[in-house]
Amino acid sequence: MRLRWLYLRASLQCAAFCAVLALCGPAANSQGQDRAPQYFQSDIQYGAQIFTSQCTSCHGENGDLIPGVNFRAGQFKRVISDNDLRATITTGVPGTAMQPFTFGASELTGIVSYLRNMGSFNARGLMMGNASRGQALFEGAGKCASCHAVNGKGPRVAPDLGDIGALRTAELIHRTLIDPAGSMLPANRPVHAVTRDGKVINGRRLNEDTYTVQLIDEQEHLVSLTKADLREYTVLKSTSMPSFKDKFSAQELADLEAYLLSLRGVK
């Protein structure tokens, strides 16, 4: 009986020890080690622009003016994970010159991407985008304004882009301009419907549930359809938006991206 009790106590102690190891091992450390699985070139470039305009006055171009900090060498204070970086940037460091910054999600993605890759990124070869020139392309040669509204001003055939710079990262905006169909979010896919009497309706979904769908058709009319009354209803994977890969030069693309990133809603 005593041997059985000793064996049970040893088993419980072993289980408790293993539980402590589990808490102190990789699972516990993983919170401090989280990094993005991949940092994208467009986000790094966007972050480089933000760093140049907002951070160099204190940190210097090479990020090494603060004692104990050298961004280019990957040396940080109080920072291990990407979340640590975001927290430091948004809350600042009390008692120091590091003030809090009110960056949006896409700006934070950019600046963190740049800081993590500052040692290998050639900022001197950075192609800076000009938002004013980008707006001219948006409204002119790109013909974007023929489908997209900005803050409620313009057509409703395609999504309103008034806050696109707050909702999408630089990388996603870049990929959308290069490969619109491949980068289109499911919620933005156009639909093709055919009623029982053969009427064809193509448009952009606004709302959808199990029984009905509401959309803006190609004539910008609001249409509500009951799915039971349709003989065909298809969510398309194609898009009428053209690729600008061969239409615009690298500088023009950078300008258009700069304009889109500047759209952060009505303040």
pLDDT tens digits for 237-265?
999 899 999 999 999 999 999 999 999 88
pLDDT tens digits for 91-124?
998 888 899 999 999 999 999 999 999 888 876 6
Phi, psi for 180 (deg, rounded to 5): -60, -45
Do residues 97 and 149 share a domain?
no
Whether 28 is in a domain gets the answer: no
Do residues 135 and 254 share a domain?
yes
Q: Which long-range contacts (CB under 8 A, 24 or more apart) does 250-254 make?
A: 250/127, 251/127, 252/133, 252/137, 253/174, 253/177, 254/127, 254/128, 254/129, 254/130
In CATH, what number is assigned to the domain containing residue 252? 1.10.760.10
Do residues 140 and 223 share a domain?
no
Do residues 105 and 49 share a domain?
yes
Do residues 79 and 155 share a domain?
no
Overall average pLDDT of the 157-181 stretch: 93
Do residues 75 and 141 share a domain?
no
Model pTM score: 0.73
For all residues of the chain together, what is the average pLDDT? 85
For 118, the domain range is 41-125
Whether 17 is in a domain gets the answer: no
Domain count, the chain: 3
pLDDT tens digits for 174-225?
999 999 999 888 888 899 999 999 999 999 999 999 999 999 999 999 999 9
Overall average pLDDT of the 136-165 stretch: 95
pLDDT confidence of residue 267: 63
- Does residue 79 have a pLDDT over 90? no
Do residues 121 and 138 share a domain?
no
Query: Are the CB atoms for 85 and 115 separated by under 8 Å?
Result: yes
Do residues 180 and 195 share a domain?
no
Do residues 252 and 165 share a domain?
yes
Whether 32 is in a domain gets the answer: no
